Amino acid sequence: MACGEFGPGRLPEPERIAATIRKLLLAPQGAGPLAGRRAVVTAGPTREPLDPVRFISNHSSGKQGYAIAEALARLGADVRLVTGPTSLAIPDGVKGMKVETAVEMHDAVKAQLPADIFVSVAAVADWRPASRAQTKLKLKGGADAGVALQLVENPDILKRIASKKKDRPRLVVGFAAETNDVEAHARAKLVRKGCDWIIANDVSGDVMGGSDNEVLLVTRKGTERWPRMAKAEVAMRLAERIAEAFCDPEQADARK
């Protein structure tokens, strides 16, 4: 305390301070290089229930997707964030929609079209149980007995949005989380999914739960390797590249 006063000090929590700073940095309504553009971003994992207690999921924290949604909003975009279960707060200036399963995420994304930009960051489960038990599954035949699960494919959200003949976003960006041959797998995914760009990274370490990322930007023109940096920096760098694709006449067609 100053000036001879005594008593308990009071400082807002660091998260609240950071949120206030981010809000002040957001582009004013209708301003910024992406003003007038709608962006749909997916983030986090999905959960595919086996029964009322258990589900199939993955280690995605949602940090990268949330950071991208926030970065796009800072550049003036109207951002819709479709998110699986995470512990994160929806960023300021972003409209959030919370879902659980891949089917719910697919339906939520479709409901936000048409859009100019789609960034598919979420780690969506490829499969779901063919049926969900209405009561908790029990062991049968003892602890050594095997359990068989029948799985069915989930909707391929990225491919379905990229292949739409109507309401296809002008720029579709996918993510490739790989553990080996990152660039080769990412380039194959770019072709297989029909998207415009792929952001690829090696998730064999602590990337899915950590705060840093090291990615490749893969396009039909080539590959850029970005150095390891905070996920917020990756997000802003990507948002700026997206803005360039919409604002620079030489990059008007982002799919080239």
Residues involved in catalysis = 3
3-state secondary structure labels for all residues of the chain: CCCCCCCCCCCCCHHHHHHHHHHHHCCCCCCCCCCCCEEEEEECECCEECCCCCEECCCCCCHHHHHHHHHHHHCCCEEEEEECCCCCCCCCCEEEEECCCHHHHHHHHHHCCCCCEEEECCECCCEEECCCCCCCCCCCCCCCCCCCCCEEECCCHHHHHHCCCCCCCCEEEEEEEECCCHHHHHHHHHHHHCCCEEEEEECCCCCCCCCEECEEEECCCCEEECCCEEHHHHHHHHHHHHHHHHHCHHHCCCCC
Looking from the CA of 83 toward its CB, the CA atoms found within 13 Å total 26
Distance CA 16, CA 109 (A): 29
Q: Which residues pair with 78 in a beta bridge?
A: 38
25, 74 in Cβ contact below 8 A?
yes
